Structure 1
C-alpha cells in the first residue's frame, strides 16, 4: 500500500490506495474508477503529537483498507489553542472545519484535545465541538470518537459526565468482547489495546442511555462502545491508533514534567508495557529522582525495552478493527 496525494482534490489531503495507483490507474494501465471511501480526520490532539496522530490514523486506514481505495481529508477545530508552528501546519495542510459541508464524507474520525480545564464545558473549543457532533450525526454514516472526544461527545449527546480516576490509566490492557458486532468480526476473543487517560465513563450509565458496550478492557473499564441513530457512532476510550512507542513517549514526557516540578508525583510506568527488567530499573530510577529531584536526572534514565510480542499484538487488533469499520462503510455506499 502507498500513501499518495491527490492534487486534483480541492482539499489538500492524503490519499490511500494500492501500490502502483499513484496516477489513479490500476496495474494494467487502465483508469481506476473504483469509488473511494471518503474519510475525514478532525485532528484536535496537542501540538507535540499532531504529526504522529496523522501518521497513526493514516497507517491504520491504509493497512485496514485491503483492496479498497480510501481518501483521507484532514480538518482541525479552529478554537483549539495552538502554537505558531502547529497553526502554520494546520493552515497549510488542513481544511477549515467550516469546509466539512463541502465534502461528501462516508465516515469521520475525531480525536480529543489536550485538556486545559477540569470541566469539558469550560474548554475553549466546547461550542465548536458541540456543533461538530451535531453535524456528524446528521451527515455521516459513521463517526469514530477517540478518547477525550468520546467523553465530550457523550456529554453533549446525553449529558453523561466522565469521572476522574484516582490515578492515570496508562498501559496496554486485554480487551474482552462483550457483544457480537460487525466492528469486531474476525477479531480474537481477547485483544490488546493501549489506554492513556485521566478520566473514565461508567458502563451502567452508558447502557442506561442506550449505548452498547462492545468491549471491556480488563483493569481499564469500558473500551469500545457504540450508539446507533442517524449515524452509527463508535466510541473508543482506548487508543488503538497508538504506535508501540507512543506510551513510552508519553511516559518520558511525564517524567520530564515531574523533574521540572510541573507535577507532584513521579509517574508510574505504563501497565503491561515495559519488560520486567525495565520495570525494575524504572522503580530504582523513580526512587533516585524522588530523592534528588532536578531536570538533569533524566540523563540517568535506564534503557527502555517493551514486552516481547507487544508490537504485533497491538497492530493486529487495531488494523482488523479499522478494516471492519471500512467494510461497513463500503457496504453501505
Structure 2
C-alpha cells in the first residue's frame, strides 16, 4: 500500500526516484475504497486445487476482493462435478455485460494442441477481446500466457524436446518495474509445460516488456506496455507438492517423465520437496493487485 505524504514534501521526490510508492494527501482524500471485483477463468483440470491456490494469494492483501469464477460453455471439465460448476461458476454469456477490476486466466492441459484446435478457442478469443474493454488488467498463467501472447501480440508457441518441469532460477530485467518491485535480482519459480515462446520475439515486440527470464526455462514474466495484460509462463501459484503430484501422475501413466529439475532434495523423488518460491509468489500477486488493479481501476465503471 502507498504511504500518504503532504503535497510538495521535499523528500517526496527522492522517494519517487527510489521507486517508493507515495501518494500525496490531496489524492488520498479523493480516493475512495471499495471492494475489487476479480473474475477467474479457471481452465485447470483440477479446479478446486487451482481455486485454493489462487484464493490463498488474492486473500493475502489489505484489499477486499470479490471473486467470480468463470467456466467455458463450449467445454465442460471431466474432473469436477456438475453441481460444483452450477453452484460456483458462471459462463461468459452471463457476465459479458459486466466490468471487472481484474481477471486471471489459468493454464490448461491443451498446450500440445494448436490454439485453433482447442475446442473452446473461439470462446477464449471472445473473452480475451472482451477483457480489453471490460477489465482493468488481466493476469495470464502458463497456457493462458501463451494464449494471450498469441492472440493479442501474434507470438506463437513451439514444442520443447522435453517437458520443462522443475524449479528454475530467474533474473529480473528491470527491478524498478511495479510488477517486480521488491523482487530479488535472482529468484526461483516452478515451471510445468511442454511448450515455450521465443524470447527474441518477446524482446523485439514494441508493445511488450520482458521482466524476467530463465537461462534454462526461457521467458517467464512479460507485461504489455499499457499494463492491460500480464503473462506468467510458469506456475508461481503452485504448492510445494504440486510438481511431485504431476511427476507421480505421469509416472503412473507410463510416460517416463524426467525428475523435475532442482526440485526434490538431492534430486531424490522419495524426499519431500520444499517451497522456495512462496515469498515471490505473494509479492507478485500483491504488486499486481495494488499497482495494476487497485491503483488503475476507476472507482465506478462507466
TM-score class, shorter: 0.7 to 0.9
CA distance in 2, matches of 1:320, 1:82: 31
Partner of 1:166: 161
1:322 to 275, 281, 285: 285
CA distance in 1, matches of 2:80, 2:192: 25
Identify if the C-alpha distance between structure 1 residues 116 and 323 changes in structure 2 by more than 3 Å, giving closer, same or farther: closer
Deviation of 1:34 (Å): 4.2
CA distance in 2, matches of 1:146, 1:86: 24
2:84 to 89, 97, 104: 89
Partner of 2:272: 305
Deviation of 1:202 (Å): 0.3
Partner of 1:57: 54
CA distance in 1, matches of 2:177, 2:93: 33
Indicate the SS of the match to 1:106.
Answer: strand
Deviation of 1:189 (Å): 1.2
| Corresponding position: 1:40 with 2:39 | yes
Q: TM-score, normalised by structure 1?
A: 0.75
Deviation of 1:217 (Å): 2.1
Partner of 2:73: 78
Q: Which has the higher helix share?
A: 1
- Give yes or no for contact 2:112–2:194 (8 Å, CA) kept in 1: no
Deviation of 1:81 (Å): 4.0
Partner of 2:185: 189
Query: Which deviations, in whole Å up to 9, do the C-alpha atoms of 1:248-271 show, x marking residues without a partner?
Result: 11111101111xxxx3xx111111
2:107 to 103, 112, 118: 112
Partner of 2:252: 256
- Give yes or no for contact 1:110–1:149 (8 Å, CA) kept in 2: yes
| Corresponding position: 1:240 with 2:204 | no
* Structure 2 unmatched ranges of 5 or more: 1-31, 298-302
CA distance in 1, matches of 2:34, 2:103: 17
- Give yes or no for contact 1:165–1:200 (8 Å, CA) kept in 2: yes
Partner of 1:98: 93
Partner of 2:295: 331
Deviation of 1:116 (Å): 7.4
CA distance in 2, matches of 1:125, 1:139: 20
Query: Which deviations, in whole Å up to 9, do the C-alpha atoms of 1:252-296 show, x marking residues without a partner?
Result: 1101111xxxx3xx11111110011x52xx5xxxxxxxxxxxxxx
Indicate the SS of the match to 1:52.
Answer: helix
CA distance in 1, matches of 2:78, 2:242: 21
1:273 to 225, 249, 263: 263
Deviation of 1:228 (Å): 3.0
Indicate the SS of the match to 2:287.
Answer: helix
CA distance in 2, matches of 1:110, 1:34: 25
| Corresponding position: 1:137 with 2:116 | no
CA RMSD of aligned residues (A): 1.8
Q: TM-score, normalised by structure 2?
A: 0.82
Query: Which deviations, in whole Å up to 9, do the C-alpha atoms of 1:207-266 show, x marking residues without a partner?
Result: 22322110012310000001134x6200010111111111011111101111xxxx3xx1
Deviation of 1:92 (Å): 1.9
CA distance in 1, matches of 2:63, 2:241: 28
Indicate the SS of the match to 1:205.
Answer: helix
Indicate the SS of the match to 1:168.
Answer: strand
Partner of 1:9: none
Indicate the SS of the match to 1:141.
Answer: strand
| Corresponding position: 1:200 with 2:190 | no
